Structure 1
């Protein structure tokens, strides 16, 4: 179970560090081609989502790695699940049902990670 957790956590952490990093530093114009939804969301909210993704990625890795408050890994994974629920909601309200495949995969991966992270509880 530990090896499976680290595989899921590492993959999610890399993805969210990249995606969150882009959201925190790039302009709306640079994000638009990859994330069409940024045209309807205020940029401060896009930045907050990016910071939350980065914090989620760090929360998946650091607590279990250091042994300090490993329950935070569960909280981080739950947070990433909620981010994907929000992402799916945004796509569906914009009529972009065809674009939710990645969101569903990330939601499922984060859900599995929640379950695997309970090994530290």
Structure 2
């Protein structure tokens, strides 16, 4: 199970890193067609969300890999799960059912990492 959790952590970290970096690097106006929810948020808010995604991705891998404060790994998983729960609520509120599958899967994967690293496989 430990190997599975490592694979999962890296996979989820890569997804959040790519998502966050795209939103950090590209102008908001170019992203609005792909992410319509951005119309309702300021560029600073979008940037903040993006930075949280990248920091969460780093937190999924680096603490456990280095052995320095490994408790931050499940904390990062929990934080990303909370973000995805908020994203699901946003998509429901905006009437965007197409946004739910991806955010739902990422929510479940982040919860699985948090559960595994907080609990039975925390080492």
Q: TM-score, normalised by structure 1?
A: 0.94
CA RMSD of aligned residues (A): 1.1
Residue by residue over 1:13-64, the C-alpha shift from the partner in whole angstroms, topping out at 9 and shown as x without a partner, is: 1100000011112111211122111111111111000000000000000011
Larger relative contact order (Cα-Cα within 8 Å, sequence gap ≥ 6): 1
Are the aligned partners of 1:84 and 1:106 in contact in 2 as well (CA < 8 Å)? Answer: yes
| Runs of 4 or more above 4 Å deviation | none
Is 1:6 the counterpart of 2:3 in the alignment?
A: no
Alignment match, 2:20: 20
CA distance in 2, matches of 1:47, 1:115: 28
Q: TM-score, normalised by structure 2?
A: 0.93
Q: Which runs of 5+ in 1 are unaligned?
A: none
CA distance in 1, matches of 2:29, 2:93: 22
* Number of residue pairs matched by the alignment: 121
